[in-house]
Structure 1
C-alpha cells in the first residue's frame, strides 16, 4: 500500500484522516481475509489478518495479535496485488455471488473488464486469484471448469498414449509424426493454461496470446503434411499451395495476435481455412493422394468452422437466455455454452487431423506409382 492511501481526504474510502504511529487506519473485509492498514514509525503497512478476532485485537492494540497468521508488507500496493479481488473504480470491493469450496465467485457485472467478453454468461466468474489459487481452482466448480477439463482430458490422453507407446511414431517418418502430434498437444496445453490463469486477471492478455499462439501453431505446423503428402504426383501443385498457405499465415498471425474481439481473432483463421479448403478440393479433383484422408480432413474443417461460429455468435446461450438481467444466473453459465461446445468440437477436429495425417502417411509410405 502506497503512502498516498494515508493522506487526508482519501478518495478510496479507507480512512478519513492520517493515522498516528501504531494507530489503526482501516479495516476492510475481502473474501477470506481481513485486511487492516496501520502505520508503524510513520511507515504505511498492510496487515493480512486471517480472522475477525485478530482484527479486533489489532484495532485495540495497534499491532497484530500474538501467534496470528498476520503478515505485514510495508508500502505494499494493495490495488495492484495479483490476489486482490475485483474492485470498482471507486476502490470498493465488488460483492461476490457465492462462496464455493473456499473461493468467491462473481457475477458478470462484478467481474474485471477483461473477463466480461460474453455477457450471456452471467455468473460463476473467478477474479483476483494468485497463481497458486488459479491452480487450485482447476479442481473447483466455476464457469471455466468445463473449458479447462474439455482440453485437459485429451491432453492427458495424448501424454499417456505416448508414454505407454500406445501411440507410436510412424516407422519411416518419425519427425513428421511429432510434427503432427506436438502442435495438437500444445494447443490443448495452451488452452488449459489460458482458462486456468485467466482468473489472474492482471496478466489475462498474456495468457490469451498464448492460447492464440497455440491455435495458430496447430494450423501451421500440422498442415505441411496435408499439402506435401496430398500431392505425391503433383509436386508443383504441392509447392504452390505450401507457399500460398504459409505466406498467408504470416499476415494472419500478425492480425490475429493484434485482435481484440473473438470475431477479429476468427477472421485470420477463416482466411487460412479458405486456403486449406481450396487445397482439399484440388486434391479431390485431381484424385491425388489418399482419398480416405479427405473424409477425416472434411470432418476436421467442419468441426473447426462450427465451433468458431458458435463461439463468435455466443450460441446457444444467446438463444436460451436472451433477456440479460443484472445478477441473474443463466442456464448455460457452467455447462454446454458456446465456448465449451467449441472446445469439444476442437477436440474432435484435432483427432481427425491426426487420423487424416496417418492415412496420408500410409499412402505415402506405400510409394504409389505416378502415371507417366
Structure 2
C-alpha cells in the first residue's frame, strides 16, 4: 500500500474529530432580535447585538464587551459607585470632598444671609456662591437616618438594575428572577426617597411620619407583590408597570403640598421646591422614554448600541436621584439650625 494514502487514512479521522470539536465548542456571539427566544423579545426596535444563553462567567466579563446592554449596565453601575461615594463622604465627613460635592448639589442661589464655606471660597467664589449647610459647632445635628435610608435605597436600586442587565442573558429562569429584583429595586428607591423630605418637613408633628411614610410603604409593598407575578414581568405590561411606579411617585404630591403650607416661612422653601421639581421632571421624562421607546422607534437598528430609550431612562433616574439628594441636604441643613 502507498504510504501516502495510508497516512491520509490515518490522519483524516483525527482532522474530522478536531473539526467536530471546533463546531461544537460554544462561541458566544451576539445575535439578532429574530434569533432571540420569545422571553427575551422585549424591544423589537433594537435589532442586533443581543447575548443569549451565556454562562455566568461569560456574562460577567461581557461588561467589557460592546453589546446592546453595555451602557445599560454601566450607567447604573457608575450611578451606584457615585452614591456609594456620597454615602461614605457623609459618613466620614471629609471637608474637602464635601465642599466639592456641594459645588454640584447645593449651588442654587438663596435669599437671606449666605455663608460660603472656607474650602469652597478659594476655588469657586469668583464664579458661584455656595450655600454652607454644615451645622455650627454649638448646634445639635438633626438625626441622619432618614437621609441614609434614601441613600441605601438608591444604591440598592442602581446595583440591582446593573446586575439584572448584566446577567439576564443567562437563562429564562434567571432572567425572570432578576427582572423581579430590578422592579423591587425601583420600588425600594421610590419608598426610600420619601423618608428625608417627610421626616424633616414634619419633624414637629410626628403623626404625619406614620401617615405618609406608612402610606407610601404599604403602597410600595403592594406594588412589589403585584410585580412578582410572572405575567406582569412581560413586555405586554410595560405600560402597567410604568403606571404603578408613577402612581407611587405622584403619591408625594399630597405630603408635598402639606409640607409647603406648614413650612411657608422656611427661607429654604424655594430651593427645596426647585430641587424636587427638577427630580420630578427627570423621573417623568425618563418614564416617558421608557414607555414610548423613543428614539429607536423612529430608526430601528440605529440605536442598538447607544442612545436607546432604556439608556436615557437610566441616566435620567440617576440625575433625578441627585436632585433629590440636593433637596435632602437643604432640608437637613435647615433642621440643624431650626429644631422644634
TM-score when scaled to structure 1? Answer: 0.66
User: Displacement, 1:227?
Assistant: 1.2
- Gap change, CA 1:360 and 1:163, over 3 Å in 2: closer
Question: Is the 1:256–1:268 Cα contact (8 Å) retained in structure 2?
Answer: no
Which residues in structure 2 correspond to 1:185-334 (within 5 Å)? Answer: 185-202=155-172, 203-258=174-229, 259-260=232-233, 261-288=237-264, 290-291=268-269, 292-321=271-300, 330-334=301-305
Q: After superposing the two structures, state which structure 1 stretch, 197-206 or 155-164, moved more.
A: 155-164
1:183 lines up with 2:153 in the alignment = yes
| Counterpart for residue 37 of structure 1 | none
C-alpha contact (below 8 Å) 1:143/1:334 kept by paired residues = yes
- Partners of 2:142 and 2:335 within 8 A in 1: no
Measured in 1, the distance between the counterparts of 2:207 and 2:53 equals 54
Deviation by residue 1:204-258 (Cα, 9 ceiling, x = unmatched): 0011111111111111123122212122444444443233322322322222333
Unmatched runs of 5 consecutive residues or more in structure 2: 1-11, 99-133, 136-140
2: CA distance, partners of 1:221 / 1:273: 11
**1:149 CA drift (Å):** 0.8
Q: Identify the residue that residue 5 of structure 2 maps to in structure 1.
A: none
The whole-number CA distance in structure 2 between the counterparts of 1:221 and 1:192 is 19
Mapped to 2, the partners of 1:342 and 1:123 lie a distance apart of: 20
Map 1:90-109 to 2 at 5 A.
103-109=28-34
Partner of 1:132: 57
CA RMSD in angstroms comes to 3.1
Contact 2:50 2:67 in 1 (8 A): yes
More helix per residue: 2
**Per-residue Cα deviation, 1:177-201 (whole angstroms, up to 9, x for no partner):** 4212111111111011000001113
Q: Distance in 2 between matches of 1:106 and 1:236?
A: 56
Distance verdict in 2 for CA 1:59–1:216, change over 3 Å: closer
CA contact (8 A) 1:105 1:142 kept: yes
TM-score by length of 2: 0.72
More strand by share: 1
Change (3 A) 1:208 1:278: same
Tell me, in whole angstroms, the C-alpha distance in 1 between the residues paired with 2:15 and 2:61.
27
1:268-288 alpha-carbon deviations (Å, 9 max, x no partner): 212211211222223234445
Structure 1 window deviating more from structure 2 (131-140 vs 295-304): it is: 295-304
Correspondence for 1:337: 308
1:229–1:360 Cα contact (<8 Å) kept: yes
Change (3 A) 1:365 1:135: same
Q: Does 1 or 2 have the higher relative contact order (CA < 8 Å, sep 6+)? A: 2
Q: Which residue of 1 aligns with 2:73?
A: 148
The residue number in structure 1 matching 2:321 is: 350
**CA–CA separation in structure 1 for the residues paired with 2:86 and 2:208:** 35
**Once superposed, which parts of structure 1, at least 4 consecutive aligned residues long, lie more than 6 Å away?**
52-55, 167-170
Change (3 A) 1:314 1:55: farther
Over 3 Å counting, the alpha-carbon distance change for 1:254 and 1:54 in structure 2 is farther
Shift of 1:161: 4.9
Query: How much has 1:358 moved relative to structure 2?
Result: 1.4
